[in-house]
Chains A and B, each alone.
Chain A
């Protein structure tokens, strides 16, 4: 798929921007702080309903404005008779529900946009996939899961909601105990356990499938970027224990294991006032050779690893059918000449590739295509 037109209103630094786009490579070039990343961030937002830079929506709305609107004309399928065009619109209202339209119809929820714009975004922030907290890697997995199966967005938000309810219940109980009360009402804890295990097992099953599918692709990508540097191994570490995970095949079994783990942890959970087992406490351990990459890999190796994970995501989405848009935000400046060339070779054939760079020289020769200059909040085709 590709985006044929991107239009922004009060998004980030843009009061308005109209950007016509073609398939193939497009580079946005301009000095620091002029709004290049802001443009591609908008594409990423349509794909994931989140920003790769901030966790809340408020910074996405132009200072002084009340809401931001991102519109995109999205084209699927080969050009001509069989192509399918859709106009997506998303109104971002920080602190309130966002609103979405598809082809001007407002009978849709924002969640219904998921899976239409598919993108893989490479950015300097990706280094955190390797060096950052487990939360970064969980988000990586979950975003990829929802891109492949949009229905899972509902499961994710159910899970978040059950977790919040259950944690509140545990916290209230823990406080009551500490203040010498007779213990708060925990009669509903079993009910929340059941709902947590239901949503949790579904999420967990999808994560395990995903990791199994990504593993060989990440290994291949790493080998292409840094020949002889691997192998790369992905180990899913679950808070229910690796033994519990090892034998469990499907969702049903994982449900049982999650419930057992919750029962086993209950005393401790009531003491601490927080849910200690579940997909929200899991991690994806990234191995490089025999060692975990985190804490062991060099800066350059960590970079290659992050790129390999993104390339693997790209391969996977392509294999599902429907090529995603590739977005490379400021990544070439961070790479040495060899990896720059390799990465350029790997992404150049993509249906649509959006590149940002501060200076022309940072865009590899292979990625010559359309060029926009971005300066002072204006986007001008060269």
Chain B
């Protein structure tokens, strides 16, 4: 245990995803020894990001305004929605330049172990978007791991009565991994080769 504020810093850092106690300590001492201007800049963007960035009212992606960049763009095809788990997946797919439709960010995947059920995800919002019949294809681009697959199956079953074309990214993505770890070429190919999901 360190004294007062140093320990507070370590504790706060340790609460971040992927940061264990050892890393938290290392980052804390890095900050302690860093140039004061660098640290002020870090503190500034941390406050800014919380004050300025919001989540898109329509799709749940990160946004500077009510709507995100994709939802504001009139050239994007409103008939196709690609469903992803996190905003970082939107970034990964945008990099491929393969997809011209819109997105829907669920905010995670179904996982009882983590206490996440369908009600904890933005599924009701998705169903509302599908209600008016504009959307004709739903691409399920949840992660290629068990929870992502289960979420895709659940969504496909839920929207089945609506008679949409429901597709899943082609296999070939690194199994068990995150979407974001796939390189652009692989992810682009997975998009092109997407298959109908029959449940």
Give CA–CA (A194, B151) in the complex, Å. Answer: 12
Interface string of B156-194 (1 = CB under 8 A from A): 010000000000000000011000000000000000000
Q: Which residues of A contact B117 (CB under 8 A)?
A: 185, 187-188
What residues make up the interface of A, taking CB atoms closer than 8 Å to B?
154, 158, 161-162, 164-166, 168-169, 172, 185, 187-188, 190-192, 194-195
Once the chains bind, are A191 and B113 in contact (CB under 8 Å)? no
Given A165-B112, A172-B112, A187-B118; A195-B150 close (CB under 8 Å)? yes
- A171: nearest residue on chain B (CB-CB)? B112
Other A-B contacts than A168-B113, A191-B153, A195-B146, 7 sampled, CB-CB below 8 A, are A165-B113, A165-B146, A169-B112, A185-B119, A187-B118, A188-B150, A188-B154
Q: How far is the CB of B143 from chain A (nearest CB, A)?
A: 13
Give CA–CA (A192, B175) in the complex, Å. Answer: 18
Q: How far is the CB of A302 from chain B (nearest CB, A)?
A: 39
Once the chains bind, are A191 and B150 in contact (CB under 8 Å)? yes
Once the chains bind, are A188 and B149 in contact (CB under 8 Å)? no
Give CA–CA (A154, B146) in the complex, Å. Answer: 11
Once the chains bind, are B147 and A191 in contact (CB under 8 Å)? no
Once the chains bind, are B154 and A191 in contact (CB under 8 Å)? yes
Give CA–CA (A185, B175) in the complex, Å. Answer: 28
Give CA–CA (A336, B190) in the complex, Å. Answer: 62
Sorted from nearest, which 9 A-B pairs have the closest CB atoms? A168-B112, A169-B112, A191-B153, A191-B154, A185-B117, A161-B146, A168-B113, A165-B112, A191-B150
Q: Which residues of A contact B150 (CB under 8 A)?
A: 165, 188, 191-192, 195
Q: Which of B112, B147, B157 contacts A190 (CB 8 A)?
A: B157
Once the chains bind, are A162 and B118 in contact (CB under 8 Å)? no
Q: Which residues of B contact A172 (CB under 8 A)?
A: 112
Q: Which residues of B contact A165 (CB under 8 A)?
A: 111-113, 146-147, 150
Given A187-B118, A188-B117; A162-B146 close (CB under 8 Å)? yes
Interface membership of B110, Cβ < 8 A = yes
Give CA–CA (A161, B113) in the complex, Å. Answer: 10
Give CA–CA (A168, B147) in the complex, Å. Answer: 13
Give CA–CA (A192, B154) in the complex, Å. Answer: 9
Once the chains bind, are A195 and B153 in contact (CB under 8 Å)? yes
Once the chains bind, are B157 and A154 in contact (CB under 8 Å)? no
Q: How far is the CB of B134 from chain A (nearest CB, A)?
A: 26
Question: Helix, strand, loop or mixed for chain A's interface?
Answer: helix
Q: How far is the CB of B183 from chain A (nearest CB, A)?
A: 13
Q: Which residues of A contact B112 (CB under 8 A)?
A: 165-166, 168-169, 172, 188
- B150: nearest residue on chain A (CB-CB)? A191
Q: How far is the CB of A202 from chain B (nearest CB, A)?
A: 14
Specify which of B112, B117, B147 lies most central, judged by the most chain A CB atoms within 10 Å of its CB: B112
Give CA–CA (A164, B157) in the complex, Å. Answer: 22
Once the chains bind, are A191 and B146 in contact (CB under 8 Å)? no
Q: Which residues of B contact A192 (CB under 8 A)?
A: 150
Q: Which residues of A contact B118 (CB under 8 A)?
A: 185, 187-188
Interface string of B93-120 (1 = CB under 8 A from A): 0000000000000000011110001110
Q: Which residues of B contact A194 (CB under 8 A)?
A: 153, 199
Give CA–CA (A166, B112) in the complex, Å. Answer: 7
Give CA–CA (A289, B154) in the complex, Å. Answer: 49
Give CA–CA (A154, B177) in the complex, Å. Answer: 13
Give CA–CA (A188, B154) in the complex, Å. Answer: 7
Q: How far is the CB of A159 from chain B (nearest CB, A)?
A: 10
- A192: nearest residue on chain B (CB-CB)? B150
Q: How far is the CB of A176 from chain B (nearest CB, A)?
A: 12
Give CA–CA (A192, B150) in the complex, Å. Answer: 7
Q: Which residues of B contact A195 (CB under 8 A)?
A: 146, 149-150, 153
Give CA–CA (A187, B199) in the complex, Å. Answer: 15
Q: Which residues of B contact A188 (CB under 8 A)?
A: 110, 112, 117-118, 150, 154
Q: How far is the CB of A6 from chain B (nearest CB, A)?
A: 30
Q: How far is the CB of B132 from chain A (nearest CB, A)?
A: 24
Q: How far is the CB of B19 from chain A (nearest CB, A)?
A: 14
Q: Which residues of B contact A191 (CB under 8 A)?
A: 110, 150, 153-154, 157
Q: How far is the CB of B171 from chain A (nearest CB, A)?
A: 13
- A195: nearest residue on chain B (CB-CB)? B150
Q: Which residues of A contact B153 (CB under 8 A)?
A: 191, 194-195
Give CA–CA (A164, B146) in the complex, Å. Answer: 11
Q: How far is the CB of A336 from chain B (nearest CB, A)?
A: 49
Q: Which residues of B contact A162 (CB under 8 A)?
A: 146
Specify which of B110, B111, B119, B150 lies most central, judged by the most chain A CB atoms within 10 Å of its CB: B150
Once the chains bind, are B146 and A158 in contact (CB under 8 Å)? yes
Q: Which residues of A contact B111 (CB under 8 A)?
A: 165
